[in-house]
Amino acid sequence: MLAWSGLPLAMEKAAIRAYQAVGRPIARPITNCRYSPSCSVYAMQSLDEHGFWGGNRRIAGRLIMCSPVGWAIDQFKDEEQPRAETKDPG
């Protein structure tokens, strides 16, 4: 029987397995994964090795680096804009 303390971990692993079965085949043509193993495989390994809190910390870091949904901010500047001149109030 599953202890209450292991319930969040079991639920998270079930969600990852559901994504692997249903979501990944849909998302694969849209996204171009840059990592091997994939983030879902990495997530399962992290949870197995580091538990709920340590695994989630590593998963969050991986997803932030990956930016699968375009969360990254592009700092590209095509040309420098001149600053507006401000008048000295004094």
Write down the pLDDT at residue 45: 93
Residue 76 has pLDDT above 70, yes or no: no
Considering only residues 12 and 30, tell me which one the structure prediction assigns the higher pLDDT. Answer: 12
Q: What is the pLDDT of residues 24-73, one digit of tens each?
A: 777 666 666 667 788 888 999 999 999 999 999 999 988 887 765 554 44
Work out the average pLDDT over 8-37: 81
Q: What is the 3-state secondary structure (H, E, C) of 40-79?
A: HHHHHHHHHHHHHHHHHHHHHHHHHHHCCCCCCCCCCCCC
pTM: 0.63
